[in-house]
Amino acid sequence: MQKRLHKVVFPVAGLGTRFLPATKVVAKEMLPVLDRPLIQYAVDEAVDAGADTLVFVTNRYKHAIADYFDKAYELEAKLAESGKDALLELVRGTLPRGVRCVFVTQPEALGLGHAVLCARPVVGDEPFGVILPDDLIWTGKGAGALRQMAELSAQEDAGVIAVEEVPPEDTHKYGIVDATPISDRAAKIRLVVEKPKPAVAPSNLAIVGRYVLPGRIFELLEKTTPGAGGEIQLTDAIEMLLAEHPVLAYRFEGTRFDCGNKLGLVKATLHMALNDAQIGAATRELVNAAAKR
Ligand code: UTP
Protein backbone atom coordinates (compact mmCIF):
# COMPACT_ATOMS: atom_id res chain seq x y z
CA MET A 1 0.00 0.00 0.00
CA GLN A 2 1.10 3.57 -0.53
CA LYS A 3 3.02 5.34 2.24
CA ARG A 4 0.97 8.49 2.10
CA LEU A 5 -2.67 8.22 3.13
CA HIS A 6 -4.59 10.67 0.97
CA LYS A 7 -7.96 10.10 2.54
CA VAL A 8 -8.86 9.80 6.19
CA VAL A 9 -12.36 9.07 7.47
CA PHE A 10 -13.68 10.46 10.76
CA PRO A 11 -16.81 8.62 11.87
CA VAL A 12 -18.47 11.25 14.06
CA ALA A 13 -22.14 10.35 13.81
CA GLY A 14 -22.45 8.67 17.22
CA LEU A 15 -24.86 10.03 19.81
CA GLY A 16 -22.27 10.71 22.51
CA THR A 17 -24.63 9.65 25.30
CA ARG A 18 -21.84 9.57 27.90
CA PHE A 19 -21.61 13.35 27.70
CA LEU A 20 -25.29 14.17 27.92
CA PRO A 21 -26.70 16.72 28.49
CA ALA A 22 -23.82 18.69 26.85
CA THR A 23 -24.07 16.52 23.72
CA LYS A 24 -27.70 17.52 23.24
CA VAL A 25 -26.27 20.44 21.28
CA VAL A 26 -22.46 20.15 21.36
CA ALA A 27 -20.99 17.38 19.24
CA LYS A 28 -18.72 15.18 21.39
CA GLU A 29 -15.88 15.87 18.95
CA MET A 30 -16.19 19.59 19.67
CA LEU A 31 -15.50 19.16 23.39
CA PRO A 32 -12.24 20.98 24.09
CA VAL A 33 -9.08 19.55 25.54
CA LEU A 34 -7.67 22.84 26.82
CA ASP A 35 -8.28 25.23 23.91
CA ARG A 36 -8.67 22.85 20.97
CA PRO A 37 -11.62 20.60 20.22
CA LEU A 38 -11.01 16.85 20.02
CA ILE A 39 -11.62 16.91 16.26
CA GLN A 40 -8.67 19.31 15.80
CA TYR A 41 -6.23 16.85 17.37
CA ALA A 42 -7.62 14.15 15.05
CA VAL A 43 -7.35 16.33 11.93
CA ASP A 44 -3.78 17.34 12.80
CA GLU A 45 -2.87 13.67 13.09
CA ALA A 46 -4.46 12.89 9.70
CA VAL A 47 -2.60 15.76 8.02
CA ASP A 48 0.64 14.57 9.65
CA ALA A 49 0.00 11.19 7.96
CA GLY A 50 -0.24 12.93 4.56
CA ALA A 51 -4.01 13.33 4.23
CA ASP A 52 -5.37 15.89 1.77
CA THR A 53 -9.00 14.76 1.89
CA LEU A 54 -10.79 14.55 5.22
CA VAL A 55 -14.08 12.69 5.14
CA PHE A 56 -16.39 13.41 8.06
CA VAL A 57 -19.29 11.03 8.53
CA THR A 58 -21.72 13.12 10.52
CA ASN A 59 -25.38 13.24 11.45
CA ARG A 60 -27.84 16.07 10.98
CA TYR A 61 -27.12 17.55 14.41
CA LYS A 62 -23.41 18.07 13.89
CA HIS A 63 -23.18 21.26 11.85
CA ALA A 64 -20.62 22.64 14.28
CA ILE A 65 -17.86 20.46 12.84
CA ALA A 66 -18.38 21.88 9.33
CA ASP A 67 -18.61 25.42 10.74
CA TYR A 68 -15.41 24.93 12.69
CA PHE A 69 -13.36 24.06 9.60
CA ASP A 70 -15.05 26.69 7.43
CA LYS A 71 -13.54 30.13 6.88
CA ALA A 72 -14.66 32.62 9.56
CA TYR A 73 -14.70 35.81 7.43
CA GLU A 74 -15.96 38.27 10.03
CA LEU A 75 -13.76 37.01 12.82
CA GLU A 76 -10.68 36.93 10.58
CA ALA A 77 -11.35 40.48 9.34
CA LYS A 78 -11.70 41.77 12.91
CA LEU A 79 -8.51 40.07 14.08
CA ALA A 80 -6.61 41.37 11.02
CA GLU A 81 -7.92 44.92 11.55
CA SER A 82 -6.82 44.95 15.18
CA GLY A 83 -3.40 43.47 14.35
CA LYS A 84 -3.97 40.29 16.38
CA ASP A 85 -1.77 38.26 14.05
CA ALA A 86 -1.07 35.36 16.38
CA LEU A 87 -4.79 34.78 16.95
CA LEU A 88 -5.44 35.14 13.24
CA GLU A 89 -2.87 32.42 12.54
CA LEU A 90 -4.57 30.20 15.10
CA VAL A 91 -8.00 30.66 13.52
CA ARG A 92 -6.69 30.14 9.99
CA GLY A 93 -4.59 27.16 11.01
CA THR A 94 -7.49 24.85 11.87
CA LEU A 95 -7.26 23.46 8.34
CA PRO A 96 -3.94 23.65 6.46
CA ARG A 97 -3.90 24.90 2.87
CA GLY A 98 -4.49 22.22 0.25
CA VAL A 99 -6.55 20.05 2.59
CA ARG A 100 -10.24 19.68 1.79
CA CYS A 101 -13.15 18.52 3.90
CA VAL A 102 -15.97 16.35 2.60
CA PHE A 103 -19.08 15.77 4.68
CA VAL A 104 -21.18 12.66 4.36
CA THR A 105 -24.29 11.97 6.40
CA GLN A 106 -25.01 8.72 8.21
CA PRO A 107 -28.81 8.82 8.20
CA GLU A 108 -29.13 6.54 11.25
CA ALA A 109 -26.59 5.54 13.91
CA LEU A 110 -26.32 1.93 12.69
CA GLY A 111 -22.81 1.36 14.02
CA LEU A 112 -19.18 2.17 13.32
CA GLY A 113 -19.00 -0.24 10.35
CA HIS A 114 -22.01 1.42 8.77
CA ALA A 115 -20.52 4.87 9.37
CA VAL A 116 -17.30 3.85 7.58
CA LEU A 117 -19.35 2.39 4.71
CA CYS A 118 -21.06 5.78 4.27
CA ALA A 119 -17.65 7.18 3.23
CA ARG A 120 -17.35 4.75 0.29
CA PRO A 121 -18.46 7.16 -2.47
CA VAL A 122 -15.69 9.57 -1.47
CA VAL A 123 -12.91 7.08 -0.73
CA GLY A 124 -13.39 4.67 -3.66
CA ASP A 125 -10.98 1.72 -3.92
CA GLU A 126 -7.86 3.18 -2.40
CA PRO A 127 -6.34 2.47 1.02
CA PHE A 128 -7.52 4.96 3.61
CA GLY A 129 -7.18 5.83 7.27
CA VAL A 130 -9.86 5.92 9.95
CA ILE A 131 -9.55 8.02 13.10
CA LEU A 132 -12.02 7.95 15.98
CA PRO A 133 -11.48 11.42 17.43
CA ASP A 134 -12.47 10.46 20.97
CA ASP A 135 -9.30 8.36 21.16
CA LEU A 136 -6.77 11.16 21.45
CA ILE A 137 -3.22 9.86 20.88
CA TRP A 138 -0.47 12.15 22.07
CA THR A 139 2.97 11.64 20.51
CA GLY A 140 4.66 14.90 21.48
CA LYS A 141 7.15 15.89 18.78
CA GLY A 142 7.28 12.35 17.33
CA ALA A 143 5.36 11.03 14.32
CA GLY A 144 1.62 10.82 14.87
CA ALA A 145 0.08 7.38 15.41
CA LEU A 146 -1.58 7.29 11.97
CA ARG A 147 1.68 8.23 10.23
CA GLN A 148 3.46 5.39 12.04
CA MET A 149 0.71 3.06 10.84
CA ALA A 150 0.73 4.34 7.24
CA GLU A 151 4.47 3.69 7.04
CA LEU A 152 4.09 0.16 8.35
CA SER A 153 1.19 -0.46 5.98
CA ALA A 154 3.29 0.61 2.98
CA GLN A 155 6.30 -1.41 4.12
CA GLU A 156 4.36 -4.64 4.72
CA ASP A 157 1.60 -4.14 2.14
CA ALA A 158 -0.96 -4.84 4.84
CA GLY A 159 -3.90 -3.33 6.66
CA VAL A 160 -2.90 -1.96 10.06
CA ILE A 161 -4.99 -1.62 13.21
CA ALA A 162 -3.84 0.23 16.31
CA VAL A 163 -3.84 -1.84 19.49
CA GLU A 164 -2.97 -1.20 23.09
CA GLU A 165 -2.42 -3.53 26.04
CA VAL A 166 -5.33 -3.22 28.46
CA PRO A 167 -5.76 -4.71 31.94
CA PRO A 168 -7.12 -8.28 31.52
CA GLU A 169 -10.32 -7.36 33.40
CA ASP A 170 -11.12 -4.77 30.69
CA THR A 171 -11.11 -7.09 27.64
CA HIS A 172 -14.95 -7.10 27.56
CA LYS A 173 -14.91 -3.40 26.58
CA TYR A 174 -12.88 -3.84 23.37
CA GLY A 175 -12.27 -5.83 20.23
CA ILE A 176 -9.37 -8.11 21.18
CA VAL A 177 -6.87 -9.57 18.70
CA ASP A 178 -5.12 -12.90 18.56
CA ALA A 179 -1.89 -12.16 16.68
CA THR A 180 1.58 -13.55 15.88
CA PRO A 181 4.41 -11.05 16.51
CA ILE A 182 6.51 -10.04 13.48
CA SER A 183 8.49 -7.29 15.24
CA ASP A 184 8.64 -5.37 18.52
CA ARG A 185 5.48 -3.43 17.81
CA ALA A 186 3.70 -5.32 15.04
CA ALA A 187 1.90 -8.66 14.93
CA LYS A 188 -0.05 -10.47 12.20
CA ILE A 189 -3.67 -10.81 13.22
CA ARG A 190 -5.18 -14.32 13.14
CA LEU A 191 -8.47 -13.56 14.80
CA VAL A 192 -10.49 -10.68 16.22
CA VAL A 193 -12.90 -11.30 19.08
CA GLU A 194 -15.47 -8.64 19.92
CA LYS A 195 -15.64 -7.81 23.65
CA PRO A 196 -14.60 -11.20 25.12
CA LYS A 197 -14.83 -11.94 28.85
CA PRO A 198 -11.34 -12.10 30.41
CA ALA A 199 -11.47 -15.91 30.75
CA VAL A 200 -11.88 -16.42 26.98
CA ALA A 201 -9.93 -13.44 25.65
CA PRO A 202 -7.10 -14.59 23.33
CA SER A 203 -4.84 -11.75 24.54
CA ASN A 204 -5.05 -8.34 26.20
CA LEU A 205 -4.28 -6.44 22.96
CA ALA A 206 -7.29 -4.19 22.44
CA ILE A 207 -8.23 -2.42 19.20
CA VAL A 208 -8.29 1.36 19.60
CA GLY A 209 -9.48 4.13 17.28
CA ARG A 210 -7.00 4.06 14.36
CA TYR A 211 -7.13 1.94 11.23
CA VAL A 212 -5.41 1.79 7.84
CA LEU A 213 -7.62 -0.27 5.57
CA PRO A 214 -7.73 -1.31 1.90
CA GLY A 215 -10.70 -0.14 -0.21
CA ARG A 216 -11.82 -3.78 -0.33
CA ILE A 217 -13.21 -3.36 3.20
CA PHE A 218 -16.22 -1.54 1.74
CA GLU A 219 -17.36 -4.61 -0.22
CA LEU A 220 -17.01 -6.67 2.96
CA LEU A 221 -18.97 -4.08 4.96
CA GLU A 222 -21.76 -4.35 2.38
CA LYS A 223 -21.95 -8.06 3.22
CA THR A 224 -21.81 -7.55 6.98
CA THR A 225 -25.05 -8.23 8.80
CA PRO A 226 -25.92 -6.38 12.02
CA GLY A 227 -24.14 -7.90 15.01
CA ALA A 228 -24.03 -6.91 18.69
CA GLY A 229 -26.69 -4.28 19.52
CA GLY A 230 -28.15 -4.43 15.98
CA GLU A 231 -25.14 -2.43 14.71
CA ILE A 232 -22.93 -3.09 11.70
CA GLN A 233 -19.56 -3.73 13.29
CA LEU A 234 -16.30 -2.75 11.61
CA THR A 235 -14.57 -5.67 13.35
CA ASP A 236 -16.90 -8.15 11.59
CA ALA A 237 -15.77 -6.87 8.20
CA ILE A 238 -12.12 -6.93 9.35
CA GLU A 239 -12.63 -10.55 10.39
CA MET A 240 -13.64 -11.34 6.76
CA LEU A 241 -10.71 -9.31 5.43
CA LEU A 242 -8.27 -11.51 7.38
CA ALA A 243 -9.06 -14.43 5.07
CA GLU A 244 -7.81 -12.59 2.00
CA HIS A 245 -5.43 -9.85 3.07
CA PRO A 246 -2.75 -9.51 5.80
CA VAL A 247 -3.80 -7.23 8.65
CA LEU A 248 -1.33 -6.18 11.33
CA ALA A 249 -1.95 -5.16 14.91
CA TYR A 250 0.36 -2.29 15.76
CA ARG A 251 1.33 -1.03 19.23
CA PHE A 252 1.83 2.65 18.39
CA GLU A 253 4.37 4.90 20.10
CA GLY A 254 2.37 7.46 22.08
CA THR A 255 -0.13 7.85 24.88
CA ARG A 256 -3.84 7.28 24.30
CA PHE A 257 -6.54 9.12 26.17
CA ASP A 258 -10.04 7.70 25.88
CA CYS A 259 -11.93 10.98 25.70
CA GLY A 260 -15.22 9.16 25.07
CA ASN A 261 -15.75 9.12 28.84
CA LYS A 262 -15.48 11.81 31.49
CA LEU A 263 -12.40 10.55 33.32
CA GLY A 264 -10.48 10.11 30.06
CA LEU A 265 -11.31 13.66 29.01
CA VAL A 266 -10.12 14.96 32.39
CA LYS A 267 -6.86 12.97 32.10
CA ALA A 268 -6.21 14.35 28.61
CA THR A 269 -6.95 17.90 29.72
CA LEU A 270 -4.66 17.56 32.72
CA HIS A 271 -1.90 16.10 30.56
CA MET A 272 -2.11 18.96 28.05
CA ALA A 273 -2.31 21.54 30.84
CA LEU A 274 0.78 20.14 32.58
CA ASN A 275 2.67 20.30 29.26
CA ASP A 276 1.43 23.77 28.34
CA ALA A 277 4.05 26.54 28.19
CA GLN A 278 1.73 29.11 29.76
CA ILE A 279 -0.20 27.24 32.41
CA GLY A 280 1.99 24.16 32.99
CA ALA A 281 3.66 25.40 36.20
CA ALA A 282 0.43 26.74 37.70
CA THR A 283 -1.35 23.46 36.89
CA ARG A 284 1.43 21.50 38.62
CA GLU A 285 1.00 23.66 41.75
CA LEU A 286 -2.73 23.10 41.63
CA VAL A 287 -2.34 19.33 41.35
CA ASN A 288 0.26 19.19 44.15
CA ALA A 289 -1.95 21.29 46.43
CA ALA A 290 -4.94 19.04 45.71
CA ALA A 291 -2.82 15.94 46.47
CA LYS A 292 -1.92 17.32 49.93
CA ARG A 293 -5.54 17.97 50.88
P1 UTP B 1 -19.00 5.20 20.51
O2 UTP B 1 -19.11 3.75 20.82
O3 UTP B 1 -18.05 5.99 21.33
O4 UTP B 1 -20.45 5.82 20.58
O5 UTP B 1 -18.64 5.31 18.97
P6 UTP B 1 -20.88 7.34 20.70
O7 UTP B 1 -22.29 7.43 20.25
O8 UTP B 1 -19.91 8.23 19.99
O9 UTP B 1 -20.77 7.69 22.26
P10 UTP B 1 -21.57 7.12 23.52
O11 UTP B 1 -21.06 5.71 23.73
O12 UTP B 1 -23.05 7.16 23.23
O13 UTP B 1 -21.19 8.05 24.63
C14 UTP B 1 -17.30 5.16 18.51
C15 UTP B 1 -17.09 6.05 17.29
O16 UTP B 1 -17.93 5.63 16.22
C17 UTP B 1 -18.75 6.69 15.76
C18 UTP B 1 -18.82 7.66 16.94
O19 UTP B 1 -19.11 8.97 16.49
C20 UTP B 1 -17.43 7.52 17.55
O21 UTP B 1 -16.47 8.31 16.84
N22 UTP B 1 -20.06 6.13 15.37
C23 UTP B 1 -20.65 5.19 16.13
C24 UTP B 1 -20.68 6.59 14.22
O25 UTP B 1 -20.15 7.48 13.50
N26 UTP B 1 -21.88 6.05 13.87
C27 UTP B 1 -22.50 5.09 14.60
O28 UTP B 1 -23.60 4.64 14.21
C29 UTP B 1 -21.86 4.65 15.78
CATH of the domain at 20: 3.90.550.10
**Which of 26, 41, 59, 112 to mutate to test ligand 1, by most ligand atoms within 8 A of the CB atom?**
112
Give the contacts of 81 (CB within 8 A, at least 6 positions apart). none
Question: Using an 8 Å Cβ cutoff, are 216 and 128 in contact?
Answer: no
Examine residue 183 and state whether it is found in any structural domain, yes or no. yes
Give the contacts of 141 (CB within 8 A, at least 6 positions apart). none
Q: List phi, psi (to 5°) of 206.
A: -100, 140
Which range marks the domain in which residue 239 is found?
7-260
What is the C-alpha separation between 94 and 91, in angstroms, rounded?
Answer: 6
Instruction: Determine whether the shortest distance from the Cβ of 266 to ligand 1 is under 6 A.
Output: no
Mean pLDDT of 68-95: 93
pLDDT digits (tens, 9 = 90+) for 167-222: 999 999 999 999 999 999 999 999 999 899 999 999 999 999 999 999 999 999 99
Instruction: Determine whether the shortest distance from the Cβ of 12 to ligand 1 is under 6 A.
Output: yes
Q: Who has greater pLDDT, 194 or 272?
A: 272
Instruction: Determine whether the shortest distance from the Cβ of 106 to ligand 1 is under 6 A.
Output: yes
Examine residue 276 and state whether it is found in any structural domain, yes or no. no
Examine residue 139 and state whether it is found in any structural domain, yes or no. yes
Mean pLDDT of 62-84: 92
Instruction: Determine whether the shortest distance from the Cβ of 232 to ligand 1 is under 6 A.
Output: no
Please tell me the distance between residue 17's alpha carbon and the centre of ligand 1 in angstroms. Answer: 9
Residue nearest to atom 10 of ligand 1 (CA): 16
| Residue 61 pLDDT | 76
State the DSSP code for 30.
G
Percentage of the chain with pLDDT > 90?
Answer: 87
| Residue 184 pLDDT | 94
Confidence of residue 2 (pLDDT cuts 50, 70, 90): low
What is the C-alpha separation between 207 and 129, in angstroms, rounded?
Answer: 15
| Residue 4 pLDDT | 67
What is the C-alpha separation between 65 and 67, in angstroms, rounded?
Answer: 5
Average pLDDT, the chain: 94
Q: Where are the beta strands (DSSP E) in 28-181?
A: 32-33, 36-37, 53-58, 100-105, 128-131, 135-138, 159-165, 175-181
Please tell me the distance between residue 184's alpha carbon and the centre of ligand 1 in angstroms. Answer: 31
Burial of 82 (0-12, 13-18, 19+ CB in 10 A): exposed
Please tell me the distance between residue 137's alpha carbon and the centre of ligand 1 in angstroms. Answer: 17
Angstrom CA distances, 188 to 46, 210, 258, 261, 270, stand at 24, 16, 25, 30, 35
Mean pLDDT of 16-22: 94
Examine residue 281 and state whether it is found in any structural domain, yes or no. no
Confidence of residue 227 (pLDDT cuts 50, 70, 90): confident
Domain count, the chain: 1
Examine residue 268 and state whether it is found in any structural domain, yes or no. no
- Asked if the peptide bond before residue 21 counts as cis, ω within 30 degrees of 0, the response is yes
Instruction: Determine whether the shortest distance from the Cβ of 113 to ligand 1 is under 6 A.
Output: no
| Residue 283 pLDDT | 96
Which of 248, 257, 164, 254 is CA-nearest to residue 205?
Answer: 164
Q: Which atom of ligand 1 is nearest to the CA of 28?
A: 8
Q: Who has greater pLDDT, 3 or 189?
A: 189
Question: Using an 8 Å Cβ cutoff, are 12 and 29 in contact?
Answer: yes
Q: Which atom of ligand 1 is nearest to the CA of 132?
A: 21
Examine residue 273 and state whether it is found in any structural domain, yes or no. no
Percentage of the chain with pLDDT > 70?
Answer: 98
Confidence of residue 3 (pLDDT cuts 50, 70, 90): low
| Residue 63 pLDDT | 85
| Residue 291 pLDDT | 87
Mean pLDDT of 115-134: 96
Examine residue 287 and state whether it is found in any structural domain, yes or no. no
**Which of 23, 24, 28, 235 to mutate to test ligand 1, by most ligand atoms within 8 A of the CB atom?**
28
In this structure, how many other beta carbons lie within 10 angstroms of the beta carbon of residue 73? 8
In this structure, how many other beta carbons lie within 10 angstroms of the beta carbon of residue 75? 12
